[in-house]
Structure 1
Amino acid sequence: MNVALWIAAGLLAAIALVGGITKTFVPKEKLAAQHGGEWTQNASVGFVKSLGVLELLAAAGLILPAALDIAPVMVPVTALCWILLMVGAMVTHGRLGQSKLVMLNSVYLVLAAFIAGGHLAA
């Protein structure tokens, strides 16, 4: 089970890292022009960048606490926060009629639930 949790956390951290880098460093106009980034058209630059920073923190929070054995309880806390983020993403993409992205976000949500549940049960 421990290996599965590490694999899941690593995968979700990589997803968070890529999303965080993209939202933090790619200009909003370029994001809005890409499929899946249409939601940024009505969002402020600060909001988009804030989400990016949160995703970067999530990437760190899914790996570093357990790897360094410093406050390992932060891993399931981070996973629970990721679940909330994915609920918001699913609502946003759902309003835009992007059902494939809603499904993708639901996969990320399930992965985060597995991580949270696995760490809280241990």
Structure 2
Amino acid sequence: MNIAIWIVQGITALGFVYSGWLKAFQYKQAKKSWGWVTEVPGALVVSIGVAELLGALGMILPYALNIVPVLTPVASAALAVVVLCGALFHITRKEYRELGVNIIFIALAVIVAVGRF
């Protein structure tokens, strides 16, 4: 079971690193990739990206290094909340196509949080 959770952690963290990197450091590319980016303040997009990058690190490093490993499920739960907020944002904008990715990443983050608590 531990190996399965590590696999889920790795896949989830990679997804958040990709998404967070685009939002935090590749703002122009994020504008091209996601239509919603052009309609919210740039500082908010960058902040979400930084939160996703830090959450991805928090999802892996504390448990891997055995330094306050309880931070891994906390980071996973926090990322699930961030993605849930994103899903609610998409629902208010009637962007239902975007919800599939949100649901998958919420599920993966919750699996890691539950598995590591």
Unaligned runs of at least 5 residues, structure 1: none
Q: Distance in 2 between matches of 1:18 and 1:94?
A: 23
Tell whether the 8 Å contact from 2:24 to 2:45 is kept in structure 1 after alignment. yes
| 2:32 aligned partner, one-letter code | A
- Structure 2 unmatched runs, 5+: none
| Alpha-carbon displacement from aligned partner over 1:29-63 (angstroms, at most 9, x marks no partner) | x43333xx222222111111111110110110011
Q: State the match for 2:92 in structure 1.
A: 95
**Alignment correspondent of 2:26:** 26
RMSD: 1.3
- Normalised TM-score (structure 2): 0.92
Are positions 1:11 and 2:8 aligned together? no
What is the alpha-carbon distance in structure 1 between the residues aligned to residue 27 and residue 43 of structure 2?
Answer: 11
Q: CA deviation at 1:112?
A: 0.9
Deviation at 1:96, TM superposition (A): 2.8
- Matched pairs, number: 117
Q: 1:79 corresponds to which residue?
A: 76
TM-score w.r.t. structure 1 length?
0.89
1:104 is aligned to 2:107: no
What is the letter of the counterpart of residue 2 of structure 2? N
Tell me how far 1:66 sits from its aligned partner: 0.8
Cα offset, 1:104, TM superposition? 1.4
Q: Hey, what does 2:113 align to over in structure 1?
A: 116
1:42 maps to which residue? 39
Displacement, 1:4? 0.9
Contact 1:79/1:115 (8 A) holds in 2: yes
Q: Is the Cα–Cα contact under 8 Å of residues 39 and 92 in structure 1 kept in the other structure?
A: no
More deviation, 108-117/39-48: 39-48
CA distance in 1, matches of 2:92, 2:36: 9
Q: Which amino acid aligns with 1:10?
A: G
Return the alpha-carbon distance in structure 2 between the equivalents of residues 102 and 27 of structure 1.
Answer: 21
Identity %: 32
CA distance in 2, matches of 1:18, 1:32: 14
Alignment match, 1:52? 49
Give the Cα separation in 2 of the matches to 1:74 and 1:113.
Answer: 14
